[in-house]
Amino acid sequence: MGFYIARRLAGIVLTMLAVSFLVYTGLTLAPGDTAEALLGEHASAEQVAALRSRLNLDAPLPERYADYMAAAVSRGDLGRSLLSDRPVAEVIRERLPATLLLAGLSVLLAAGLGIALGLLAAVHRGGRLDLALVSGTVLGLAIPPYWLAILFIQFFALRLGWLPVFGSGTAAHLVLPTLTLSLPAMAVVARLVRASVIEVSRSDFVRTALAKGLPPRRVLLRHILPNSLLPALVVLGLNLGHLVGGAFVVETIFAWPGLGRLTVQAIFDRDIPMVMGSALVVAPLCLGVNLAVDLLHGMLDPRVRHGAL
Amino acid sequence: MRPKSSLPAVVLVLSLLIAGCAGSTPSVTAPASSGGGGTLTRSMTDEPTSLDPQGAANSGANLMLPYLFDTLVTRQSDGQYVPLLAESWQVGSDGKTVDFKLRQGVKFHDGSALDAKAVVFTFERFKAQGDKSPIAGNIKEIASITALDESTVRFSFAKPTATVFSTLSMPYAGILSPSAVAAAGQDVGRKPVGTGPFKLGDWQSGVGVTLVRNPDYNWGTPEAKNRGPVKFEKLVFKLIPDPSTQLAALQSGDVDVLFVNEPSQLTTLEKDNNFAVQRVNLDSLIYLGFNCAKPPFDDVKVRQALSFAVNKDQIVQTALAGMGAVASTPLTPSLLGYNADLGSYGQGFDPAKAKSLLTQAGFNQGADGVWQRGGQKLTARLLTSTRAPNDAIATVLQSQFKTLGVPVEIQQLDSAAVMKSTTEGAFDILLWRYEWNDPDALNIYLGGSRIRQTNRVFYSNKAVDDLLRKGLSEFDSAKRAGIYQEAQKLILADAPWQPLYLPVEGLVVGKRVQGLKIGALGRMLVNDVTLAGQ
C-alpha cells in the first residue's frame, strides 16, 4: 500500500511538471503577448518594447519557465499578476474557496442523489418510475449546463422568485449553481448505479443471501449496493476534471466569485503568472482527489491495490 | 476494510473536502443600504484589474475611474474641452507650453488639498512607471511638468502638441493624492484616492465594487446641472460576466442600469413599462481595412472596387438588426473635423463601378465568376476577432464579395492574436474597430510613421502625413478641423479603410432612476441622478 501511494505521488509530481510546462509554453507561444494585449490598440512599437523588456518577456522561454518554477517550488512564490501587480497567491486565496465550495457540494449532490435515484430505478426496474428516472438521466446528460442555467434562472429566480438570480453569500445563492453543475455527473452516477445494482442482484451470493432468509431490504443495502458502487466511484473520480471545467462555465453564468472567470480572463490577457498560479493550484487538487478516489477504490476492491486490475 | 463501510467513507472524504472550504465562504453581495439617498446599481462584465489610473486598464477600470478621479480638463459629449480641476489655461505663443491654473479649495478623499505639487507628482509618477497605461505614449510626449506657483502648472513639449487636452481629459490622467500614494505603497491599485464625486467604499474580489458619495464634492463637470455632491449615497458595480444573467439581474431589480446590444432583448425591454430605454450612439467606428502593402490590395483600384461592393445598409439591417448607424467617414461624429458630407469622396454601394474598376485594374471574370489577373484568382482572407457581432458582419461581407466574384475566407482570432497578425501584415482584409477622443486618431491608425505599429493596414501617403503633422500642432479649433477634413478627403479616395458603421447600444434604466445622462466615450454621468422613493 505504501509503495502504491508513493508511486502515485511520484506520478502526480511528474504530471504537475508536464502541466506547468504545457501551460507556460502554450501561453507564451500563443500569438500576441502580455505587452500587446495590455497596451491594446493605441500603443506604439517603442511602448510595447519597453513594457516587454520590463516584464522580462524578451528572455528565452526555457529561462523564464525555469525562473518561474524555481521561485514557485523553492519559495512557494507564484509571482505577481502582470496586470494588477497583485501577488497571484493572494488573488487565488480570495477566489479558490468559492470554487471548492461549489465543486465539493456538487460532487456530494451528484454522488448522494445519483446513488439514491439509481437504486430507486433499479428496485422499480421496468416500472413507470424507472422509465421516468432513466429518461430524466438522458435529459440531464443531453442538456448543456449553459442552457440549463439560463432556464433555471428564468424559472426559479425570475418567474417564481424563490431563489436569487446570481451572486453569492447565502445558502440560497448556492442552490442553482450546485444543481446546474452536479446534474450531468448525477445522471451518470444514477445510470451506472442502476445498471450495476441490476447486475449484482443476479449474482450467486445475492441468491445465497436471500436463500438463507435475509430480509430483501438488508440484502439490497448491505450486499448489493456496496458492490454496485465501484463503477460509480471510478466515474465520479474521472469526472472531477470535467466538474472543474464545468465550474468555470457555471461560475460565469451565476457570477459566482470563484477562480473560473478569473482564469479565463487571465488567458485572454496573456497574464502568465495568473494562469500558471491557477493551474498549479487546481491541477494538484484534481490529481489529489483522483488519488483519494483511487485509494477508496482500493479499499473497496483489494484487486486494485494489488495491481491485479 | 469490508465493503459494507464504504459509503460512510466516501461521504467522510467529501465532507472533509467541503469543510476545508466552508470556513471562508464569500460574504453577501453589498446590500442596498437605504439610509441617506439610496443606491444606484449597475452590472459590469470585467472586474477592474487595478484602480490605479496609471496602471493596466480594462473595461471595469474604465467604468469606475471617472467617478474616483477628476482630470484637469474634461471632454463633453459635444467634443468640447471644459474646465474641471483646472479653471483656466493658457497656450504659449510657440504652442510648446500650456499653463493650467488650478481651481481653489479642491480636496482629495484623504483630506489633503489639491495643489500644483500634486499635479506635478501625478505626471512625474506617470512618466516613471505608467508604462502599462493606454496613454503611456502620449504622456511620454510631455517633456516636463513644473509648478509655476501654488496653483499653476506648466506642461512643456518638445514640439507643439494639440492633443494635450485629449490626453489630459482621459480618465487615466486623473490627479492622484501624493500622500495617499505614499501611504498605499504597492497597493495603489486597490486603494485609489482622488478628488472624484465618489470614494472607494468596498471592493470584494469576484463580487463587485461599492463607491460611496464624496460629501465635499462641489467641482463637478459643467455638463451637469448639479455640480455639488451627487444626490444618492452609493454607486454599486456588480460583477456579472454573462450577458443573459445581466439581463435577468435587470429584470429582477438587482441592477438599475444595463447597456444592451442584443436587438431582440432591446425590443422586449422597450415594451416593458418598468424600464426606460434610450438608444445611444457609441463613439467608435467599425471599419474594413485593406492590407495596402500586399498585392493585389496595394492597387488602389482593387481597394476601391471591393469598397464599392460593400452594402453597409444590408450589414446594419441583417447582421446588426438595426443596432448601428451607417458610417461614411474615418472620423466619428464627436471628433473635431467630422463632416458627414465627406462621404462623397469615398465609395458608396455601387456594384457596377466595382466591376469596372476591377476591369481597369486588369482583371477579368472567369467562367466560374471569379475575377482573375494573369491566371491568379482574386481571393482574400478576412481577419477579425471573435468578439460579437464580428462573425455576423464577416458573413454578410463574405456574401457581398462573393456576389462581386471575389471568394473570401473568414479568419477569427482572439484580439491579442489579431493585433499580432496585423502588425506582421499576415492578412488581406481586416474587420476592426477604433475608439479615440481626438482626430489624431487618423495619425495613430493611418499615419505613415505608425506602420507595423498602430497603422495596421500599411497605408502611407505623404500628403496625408503632412496634413496630420500640421493638425497635431494646430491649436485653433476651426483651422484644425479644416486640416482633418482635407486629410479625410485624401484618405477616402485612397480607400485604405472602408468605414462601415457606428455601433448603437440600448441604455436600459429602471423607472426609479431619473436624470441619467451619457457623456463622452459612453461615460455614465450620474451627477443629476435622483432615485425615486428615496
Interval A295-305: pLDDT, tens: 887 777 766 66
Show which of residues 213-242 on chain A sit within 8 Å of chain B, judged by CB atoms: 222, 225-227, 229, 233
Cβ contact A45–B204 (<8 Å): no
Collapsed DSSP state (helix, strand, coil) of residue B425: coil
Show which of residues 41-80 on chain B sit within 8 Å of chain A, judged by CB atoms: 46, 49-50, 55-56, 58
Cβ contact A104–B415 (<8 Å): no
pLDDT of residue B315: 96
pLDDT of residue B17: 39
Q: How confident is the model at residue B22 (pLDDT cuts 50, 70, 90)?
A: very low
Q: Please list every residue in chain B whose beta carbon sits closer than 8 Å to the beta carbon of residue A252.
A: 241-242
Residue A206 domain-assigned?
Answer: yes
Within a 10 A sphere around the Cβ of A67, how many other Cβ atoms? 13
Residue A82 domain-assigned?
Answer: no
Same domain, A182 and A64: no
Cβ contact B207–A166 (<8 Å): no
pLDDT of residue B208: 94
Residue A86 domain-assigned?
Answer: no
Cβ contact A255–B22 (<8 Å): no
ipTM of this predicted complex?
0.82
The two beta strands, B73-75 and B39-44, are unpaired
Same domain, A185 and A248: yes
Expressed as residue numbers, the domain containing A40 is: 2-75
pLDDT of residue A242: 74
Cβ contact A104–B1 (<8 Å): no
Compare all CA atoms of chain B with the CA of A227 and give the residue at the minimum distance: B3
> Which spans in B106-242 are helix H?
116-129, 136-140, 164-169, 178-184
Same domain, A105 and A42: no
Same domain, A131 and A35: no
On the question of pLDDT at B297 being above 80, the answer is yes
Cβ pair B106, B175 in contact under 8 A: no
Q: Please list every residue in chain B whose beta carbon sits closer than 8 Å to the beta carbon of residue A168.
A: 25-26, 28-29, 207
Q: How confident is the model at residue A30 (pLDDT cuts 50, 70, 90)?
A: confident
On the question of pLDDT at A215 being above 90, the answer is no
Show which of residues 260-289 on chain A sit within 8 Å of chain B, judged by CB atoms: 261-262, 265, 268-270, 289
The CA distance from A99 to the nearest CA of chain B, in Å, is 9
Cβ pair B454, B445 in contact under 8 A: yes
Strand partners, B324: B503
Q: Outline which parts of chain B fall under CATH 3.40.190.10.
A: 9-239+512-531
Grid coordinates representing A276?
500558471
Cβ pair A185, A106 in contact under 8 A: yes
Q: How confident is the model at residue B488 (pLDDT cuts 50, 70, 90)?
A: very high
CA B407 to each of CA B370, B378, B380, B382, B496: distance values in angstroms, whole numbers, following the listed order: 7, 7, 7, 10, 20
Mean pLDDT of B159-181: 95
CATH number of residue A120's parent domain: 1.10.3720.10
Question: pLDDT digit string (tens) for A225-266?
Answer: 888 888 888 888 777 777 777 888 899 899 999 888 888 888
Question: pLDDT digit string (tens) for A130-161?
Answer: 899 989 888 888 888 888 899 999 899 988 88
Compare all CA atoms of chain A with the CA of B435 and give the residue at the minimum distance: A41
Question: pLDDT digit string (tens) for B311-348?
Answer: 999 999 999 989 999 999 999 998 999 999 999 999 99
Same domain, A47 and A109: no
Strand partners, B348: none
Residue type, A47: Q
Q: Outline which parts of chain B fall under CATH 3.10.105.10.
A: 284-504
CA B233 to each of CA B34, B41, B213, B526: distance values in angstroms, whole numbers, following the listed order: 8, 11, 5, 11
Same domain, A62 and A172: no
Q: How confident is the model at residue B479 (pLDDT cuts 50, 70, 90)?
A: very high
* Tally of domains within chain A: 2
Backbone angles phi and psi of B273, in degrees to 5: -70, -10
pLDDT of residue B23: 35
User: For the domain B9-239+512-531, what is the CATH superfamily, name and number?
Assistant: Periplasmic binding protein-like II (3.40.190.10)
Q: What proportions of chain A, in percent to the nearest 5, are helix, strand and coil?
A: 80, 0, 20
Nearest C-alpha neighbor of B239 from the set B65, B63, B36: B63
Average pLDDT along chain B: 89
B296: cis peptide before it, omega within 30°?
yes
**pTM of the predicted model as reported, rounded to 2 decimal places:** 0.84
Residue A87 domain-assigned?
Answer: no
The CA distance from B375 to the nearest CA of chain A, in Å, is 34
Question: pLDDT digit string (tens) for A80-135?
Answer: 898 888 899 999 999 999 988 998 899 889 989 999 999 899 888 888 998 999 89
Question: pLDDT digit string (tens) for B344-383?
Answer: 999 999 999 999 999 999 999 999 999 999 889 999 999 9
Q: Please tell me the distance from the alpha carbon of residue B435 to that of residue B132, in angstroms, as a whole number.
A: 18
Same domain, A239 and A159: yes
Strand order in B142-149's β-sheet? B86-91, B97-102, B152-157, B142-149
* Boundary residue ending a domain (A75, A110, A137): A75
The CA distance from B420 to the nearest CA of chain A, in Å, is 5
| Element containing residue B518 per DSSP (H, E) | strand B517-518
On the question of pLDDT at A41 being above 90, the answer is no
Q: Please list every residue in chain A whose beta carbon sits closer than 8 Å to the beta carbon of residue B444.
A: 42
Residue A90 domain-assigned?
Answer: no
Mean pLDDT of B202-215: 94
Rg value, chain A, Cα: 24
Task: Tell me which of A50-64, B307-321, B389-403, B493-507 is least confident.
Answer: A50-64
Task: Tell me which of A47-61, A115-129, B194-208 is least confident.
Answer: A47-61
Largest CA-CA distance found in chain B, in angstroms, rounded = 94
Residue A186 domain-assigned?
Answer: yes
Same domain, A69 and A102: no
Grid coordinates representing B281?
450612439
Size of chain B in residues: 534
Q: Please list every residue in chain B whose beta carbon sits closer than 8 Å to the beta carbon of residue A166.
A: 240, 245, 248-249, 254
Strand partners, B83: B73
Residue A163 domain-assigned?
Answer: yes
Q: In angstroms, how far is the first alpha carbon of chain B from the final one? A: 65
Residues 6+ apart with CB under 8 A from A226: A300, B3, B4, B6, B7
Residue A88 domain-assigned?
Answer: no
Nearest C-alpha neighbor of B321 from the set B471, B104, B503, B473: B503
Same domain, A242 and A106: yes
Task: Tell me which of A188-192, A202-206, B291-295 is least confident.
Answer: A202-206
Same domain, A169 and A107: yes
Q: Mutating which of B14, B170, B440 best tests the A interface, going by the most A Cβ atoms within 10 A?
A: B14
Cβ contact B240–A255 (<8 Å): yes
Q: What number of C-beta contacts closer than 8 Å exist between A and B?
A: 211
Same domain, A232 and A198: yes
On the question of pLDDT at B8 being above 60, the answer is no
Question: pLDDT digit string (tens) for B36-69?
Answer: 589 999 999 989 989 999 998 888 999 999 999 9
Q: Which of B10, B413, B435 lies at the smallest CB-CB distance from A233?
A: B10
Grid coordinates representing B409?
475566407
Compare all CA atoms of chain A with the CA of B423 and give the residue at the minimum distance: A45
* Boundary residue ending a domain (A43, A75, A107): A75
Cβ contact B206–A166 (<8 Å): no
Collapsed DSSP state (helix, strand, coil) of residue B222: coil
Residue B8 at interface with chain A, using a CB cutoff of 8 Å: no
Residue A116 at interface with chain B, using a CB cutoff of 8 Å: no
pLDDT of residue B178: 97
Residues 6+ apart with CB under 8 A from A217: none
Strand partners, B109: none
Cβ contact B15–A222 (<8 Å): no
Within a 10 A sphere around the Cβ of A213, how many other Cβ atoms? 6
Cβ pair A233, A43 in contact under 8 A: no
CA B269 to each of CA A200, B149, B238, B266, B524: distance values in angstroms, whole numbers, following the listed order: 56, 54, 20, 5, 20
On the question of pLDDT at B419 being above 90, the answer is no
On the question of pLDDT at B411 being above 90, the answer is yes
Residue B1 at interface with chain A, using a CB cutoff of 8 Å: yes
On the question of pLDDT at B269 being above 50, the answer is yes
CATH code for the structural domain at B284-504: 3.10.105.10
Show which of residues 28-57 on chain A sit within 8 Å of chain B, judged by CB atoms: 30-33, 36-48, 50-51, 54
pLDDT of residue A21: 92
Mean pLDDT of B236-248: 92
Within a 10 A sphere around the Cβ of B471, how many other Cβ atoms? 25
Same domain, A69 and A104: no
